[in-house]
A and B are shown apart, each in its own frame.
Chain A
Amino acid sequence: VTAHFCRKILEGVGIRSDRLALDWASAAEAPLYVALITNFTKHIKELGPLGKADGLSGEELSSRLSVARSAVKSVKLRTRFARLTQALREANDYSPQLIESKMAENFDQAILREMEKQEKLLSEAGVGVQHIGESIDDNKA
């Protein structure tokens, strides 16, 4: 669910969702872990640097990322996200199919709406500056 949530948000700001990988490997699965890391590294190298490869300027990229970050912090979305986790736990079924269908049911649309809202907020100059400021602060910290 977490991965799905993040991927949707990345897509929303125009970043390829395959730049995020989430997988499981136990301590006894060293070869699997190596394969996961090697493949992901190879894949990201092929894609090229974040932003540049997709034709985004540094400024554009950082504003988009701050939209994404705000969206992840949104109480509305986080509530839906948590409710969804709870539903999966109650059903005791974590199959990708169920996650997909549950997400489509009442989550995907909400993500899109939230992203629009955040973008709008950002485009209103004052707020935008504040957000960019925030992200710079974060980087400095």
Chain B
Amino acid sequence: LVEAGRSPNINIITMAELVSVAGEARDFTAKVRRLPRYVDENLCTACGTCADYCPSPIRDDYNEGLSFIRAIHIDYQQAIPPAFYVDREACLFLSRQECKQCERVCLAKAIDFKQAPQEIHISVGAIVLAPGFGRIAGRVLAKYGYETCSDVITGIEFERLTSASGPTMGDIIRPSDHQHPKSIAFLQCIGSRDLASGNGYCSSVCCMYAIKEALVAKEHAPDTSIAIFYMDMRTQGKEFDDARLRAKEKGIRFVRSRFGGIRKTDGALEIKYVSEEGQHFKESFDMVVLPEGLESPESAASLARVAGIELNHYDFCKTNIFSPLETSHQGILVAGAFQSPKDVPESVIDASGAAALVSEALSQVRNTRVETKIYPDEIEIDETPRIGVFVCSCGSNIGGVVDVPAVARYAATLKDVVFIDTNLYSCAQNTQELITEKIRANGLNRVVVAACTPRTHEPLFQETLKNAGLNRALFEMANIRDHCSWVHSHLPKESTEKAKDQVRMAVAKARLLRSFPEQSLPVCPRALVVGGGISGMTAALSIAKQGFECFLVERSSQLGGNLRNICFVLNGDDPEALLEKTTKEAMSNDLIHIYTDASVEGVSGYVGNFTTTIRTKEGIEAVDHGVIVVATGGEAYKPTQYLYGTSKQVITQLELEKMLADPDRAQQINDIVMIQCVGSRGQDLSYCSKVCCGQAVKNALRILEHTPLANIVILYRDMRTYGFMEDYYSLSREKGVTFIHFNREMPPVVAEESGKLSVEFFDTLLGETVVLDPQYLVLSVGIVPAGARGLAKILKTPLTKDGFFLEAHPKLRPVEFSVDGIFLCGLAHSPKPIPESIVQAKAAAGKACIPLTKGSVAVEPIVSAVDQEACIGCGICEKLCPYAAVRIVKAGKKRKAETIPASCKGCGICAAHCPTMAIYMGRFSTEQIMAQITACGKKGLQ
């Protein structure tokens, strides 16, 4: 958020809606209506004084209406833009022409009631729609007692209750009596998989977020008894099943059941439900949580009209299964839950993928309308520190508690401080300019700002330093807002003393600050893609379309990977055509160099400057490139259980699919039993393979097309046909496929006697053991990673316990590695269906092209540096570095460590563990930190 807010090339227009779109792809004109904020974004410093004086309370939407705020407000502290806004209806001035308190108390003069709605015309090359999801209608929630029982709350309300920044500061209490609930029930599939609500689809995320909330509730109060009532537990995402098992271990009950009704009893809520065995139960809880599903966004219909795009039958954006980010209107893309219900990682992947598509479309005009800042040349600085201290009042935010002039006077007495000043708002645009002038006029060479937090404001002030010609490493901040005026607001005298302490410490450190040369390293504008399946090909094509050369390495003799085994997909589209089209495009693109029967032998270098040795049948070739995309894929798990390999009647889903592709053979199939989760979910593989449920439904429907009266029994643990796939699951049930649930502890038993196959299983609904002798037993086998281990060793990238590649952050950085310049997509990341692989490949290509487009990698002034004299070449730093940013090189006869600044994140692990303390951390050196600590204990001394 902060990054987006700070980018000179992202223009954030809030309180606005799209009114019309004219033109065509690469040349759109979008008309946007902007509603008045009544606060000037550029002047507002978000100090909050206006809200202190605003007399009109409203419900806080950000906290789901569970608390109150004022008509003039900001949604939350870190909101971008960091400016307050006025609720039109609640404001006394706007509704009744009285009050205007805020205007009088605002010292920044930011309130502007003269603002009127504006229409803006923006000319753009592409449009990305990301309106998110809508909320489940009240009438649906009413069925579960939401409107009549105050202790029935939605999952999102519960989320706010558990949040430390929420209305109760993380205290989970019942709305009715503010007591801690001793028992909580979660009811799944609220407004999902429910034809009565109009939503036949599965919302995909609710099972997982219910489990998360249940675990959080358990953490808050371990004695709470928690039950989750569900139909199928759909925790199909990467490592999601582990969370489910953790929840089970913590004593959370999972009850497979159908909801029957809810009623308020004396101080509790009674739930009726039907168990799997068909028995009726009643159980009482203190609180009932409804983890509501994801509805299509409220604006869907109007957005569709304005943007000229089609919606699907659930009012989500209609997309093609093999191009999931493209709407029916060329040049208009979609990302996030508007495409289909999805969670954070998938939304983030969508977003990067959509950015890649935009970059493909606009690569011809790249860099024509971007803004780059130009700074004055850096001044050579003198060794003698000349420190300037600026103390900020932050309106009354700091000044109301801390005696700011006193702190400034005190700062003036400190050694090497040659200039002091106080500001009302240090961060305001005009003050920034004043600071720049003062730095110049007084010849300052170190700057200390005592104000708010460096987390949000350090880059801003560093920018100010750069504008004054100072190196940005010569800056230090003392946080006298969060640490003084906020936490000790009732103790002004002590706060002032503490602020003085902090300023003294900051000055002590500032004295030792050194310039850090601004480095930027060149990037070799080529990419290496490892793996030539649909993911690898899609990534390579996207990189090429974005205008960069690409090496595509495939270990087998031809491109295509697993897609070569897929004959048809659920919605009837043709995967073979996709394969042919993609392969052809990849082979005919001049920018893509394809290596088949090839393997990666070795990789050296770092982001921007990799050299890779590729071995092919012809020999060995070394190529230089700037980034790497890992798309090594996966392969089918090879079963040994259920007589696979022994009986000819036992086959896998892929083998069945091959048979079904041949019409003659397909017609002969009429009696099938399928077993799900073969190998997966606790057998040989601990994880869910995500695709097998959809695959089973797909093949079952295909059989019924040929033989409508065929007998098909699917034995499953949880049917995980998430999202819109649920439609096909419902259809297969309607068409007569029998689904029977089994537990992990009681798997089906398969036997063969005198050439006759039998499958024995326990039917919970009948309460009996059933024996069937089908024509074929089809095993839904899982997916295992292919060749990950070898490549991981070469790249020094980590793997998960299941052997898939481990991304930098499961939610926020799902296609990147912690090592810079290496990206990830497809089955190598985790099992997933074709559309998700395609999107992830686009996302990886989008991310990979960022350094290629920039042409250089900038180095932050916090990286480590090795003192070659003191280094003994022990190699500990190299082994411990999580970013592969330290390497051992030969210096003459000795081995010495060396930082790769382009990869270093400044975490300090190397410095902390260096036996000879030879590693210096930029801006956080041992001397600087010791000076700060020493200054802390030296009150009044210099």
Residues of A within 8 A of B (CB): 2, 28-31, 73, 75-76, 78-79, 81-83, 85-86, 89, 138-139, 141
User: Per a CB cutoff under 8 Å, which of A75, A89, A141 touches B916?
Assistant: A75
A83 to B927 alpha-carbon distance, docked (Å): 25
Can you list 6 A-B contacts with CB-CB less than 8 angstroms, sorted by A residue number? A75-B872, A75-B915, A82-B880, A82-B915, A138-B930, A141-B931
A79 touches B934 (CB 8 A): no
A86 to B164 alpha-carbon distance, docked (Å): 35
A131 to B880 alpha-carbon distance, docked (Å): 32
A31-B170, A79-B874, A138-B934 known; A89 vs B912 contact (CB < 8 Å): no
Using a CB-CB cutoff of 8 Å, which residues 900-920 of chain B contact chain A? Answer: 912-917
Residues of A within 8 A of B879 (CB): 86
User: 0/1 per residue, B869-906, Cβ < 8 Å to A?
Assistant: 00010101001100000000000000000000000000
Residues of A within 8 A of B170 (CB): 28, 30-31
Name the residue on A nearest B879 (C-beta): A86
Cβ distance A69 to chain B, nearest Cβ, rounded Å: 10
Cβ distance B819 to chain A, nearest Cβ, rounded Å: 16
User: 0/1 per residue, B918-942, Cβ < 8 Å to A?
Assistant: 0000000001001100100010000
Residues of B within 8 A of A (CB): 163-164, 169-170, 872, 874, 876, 879-880, 912-917, 927, 930-931, 934, 938
Cβ distance A34 to chain B, nearest Cβ, rounded Å: 10
User: Per a CB cutoff under 8 Å, which of B169, B874, B912, B915 touches A2?
Assistant: B912
B880 touches A78 (CB 8 A): no
Residues of B within 8 A of A138 (CB): 930, 934
A139 to B936 alpha-carbon distance, docked (Å): 11
B915 touches A139 (CB 8 A): no
B876 touches A83 (CB 8 A): yes
B917 touches A78 (CB 8 A): yes
B915 touches A78 (CB 8 A): yes
A86-B876, A89-B880, A141-B927 known; A78 vs B164 contact (CB < 8 Å): no
A86-B876, A86-B879, A141-B934 known; A30 vs B916 contact (CB < 8 Å): no
Name the residue on A nearest B913 (C-beta): A82
Cβ distance B873 to chain A, nearest Cβ, rounded Å: 12
B930 touches A141 (CB 8 A): yes
| Given pairs A78-B917, A86-B880, 12 additional interface contacts (CB within 8 A) | A2-B912, A30-B164, A30-B170, A31-B164, A73-B917, A75-B915, A78-B914, A82-B880, A82-B915, A83-B876, A89-B880, A141-B927
Residues of A within 8 A of B927 (CB): 141
Residues of A within 8 A of B874 (CB): 79, 82
A121 to B207 alpha-carbon distance, docked (Å): 64
Residues of B within 8 A of A86 (CB): 876, 879-880
B164 touches A28 (CB 8 A): yes
Cβ distance A110 to chain B, nearest Cβ, rounded Å: 13
A86 to B927 alpha-carbon distance, docked (Å): 26
A43 to B737 alpha-carbon distance, docked (Å): 68
Residues of B within 8 A of A31 (CB): 164, 169-170
A138-B934, A141-B930 known; A81 vs B913 contact (CB < 8 Å): yes
A83 to B879 alpha-carbon distance, docked (Å): 10
A79 touches B915 (CB 8 A): yes
Residues of A within 8 A of B931 (CB): 141
Cβ distance A102 to chain B, nearest Cβ, rounded Å: 15
Name the residue on A nearest B916 (C-beta): A75
A86 to B913 alpha-carbon distance, docked (Å): 10
Name the residue on B nearest A84 (C-beta): B913
A29 touches B913 (CB 8 A): no
Residues of A within 8 A of B169 (CB): 30-31
Residues of A within 8 A of B930 (CB): 138, 141
Cβ distance B367 to chain A, nearest Cβ, rounded Å: 37
Cβ distance B142 to chain A, nearest Cβ, rounded Å: 33
User: Per a CB cutoff under 8 Å, which of A30, A85, A139 touches B913?
Assistant: A85
Cβ distance B2 to chain A, nearest Cβ, rounded Å: 15
Cβ distance A38 to chain B, nearest Cβ, rounded Å: 12
Q: Which 8 A-B pairs have the closest CB atoms?
A: A78-B915, A82-B913, A79-B915, A82-B876, A75-B915, A28-B164, A30-B164, A141-B931
Name the residue on A nearest B216 (C-beta): A28
Residues of A within 8 A of B880 (CB): 82, 85-86, 89
Name the residue on A nearest B926 (C-beta): A73
Cβ distance B648 to chain A, nearest Cβ, rounded Å: 44
B915 touches A29 (CB 8 A): no
Residues of B within 8 A of A139 (CB): 934, 938
A78 touches B934 (CB 8 A): no
Cβ distance A98 to chain B, nearest Cβ, rounded Å: 17
A15 to B154 alpha-carbon distance, docked (Å): 53
Cβ distance B914 to chain A, nearest Cβ, rounded Å: 7
Cβ distance A23 to chain B, nearest Cβ, rounded Å: 16
Name the residue on B nearest A29 (C-beta): B164
Cβ distance B387 to chain A, nearest Cβ, rounded Å: 15
| Most A CB within 10 A of own CB, among B876, B914, B934 | B876
A89 to B930 alpha-carbon distance, docked (Å): 28
Cβ distance A77 to chain B, nearest Cβ, rounded Å: 8
Name the residue on B nearest A1 (C-beta): B913
A29 to B927 alpha-carbon distance, docked (Å): 31
A82 to B169 alpha-carbon distance, docked (Å): 40
A89 to B927 alpha-carbon distance, docked (Å): 28
Name the residue on B nearest A78 (C-beta): B915
Cβ distance B88 to chain A, nearest Cβ, rounded Å: 33
Name the residue on B nearest A83 (C-beta): B876
A2 to B908 alpha-carbon distance, docked (Å): 14
| Most B CB within 10 A of own CB, among A2, A76, A79 | A79
A86 to B881 alpha-carbon distance, docked (Å): 10
Residues of B within 8 A of A81 (CB): 913, 915
Cβ distance A33 to chain B, nearest Cβ, rounded Å: 10
Cβ distance B654 to chain A, nearest Cβ, rounded Å: 35
A89 to B170 alpha-carbon distance, docked (Å): 33
A86 to B876 alpha-carbon distance, docked (Å): 8
Residues of B within 8 A of A82 (CB): 874, 876, 880, 913-915
Cβ distance B371 to chain A, nearest Cβ, rounded Å: 33
Name the residue on A nearest B927 (C-beta): A141
Residues of B within 8 A of A30 (CB): 164, 169-170
Cβ distance B503 to chain A, nearest Cβ, rounded Å: 18
Cβ distance A84 to chain B, nearest Cβ, rounded Å: 10
A76 to B934 alpha-carbon distance, docked (Å): 27
A123 to B287 alpha-carbon distance, docked (Å): 68
A73 to B915 alpha-carbon distance, docked (Å): 8
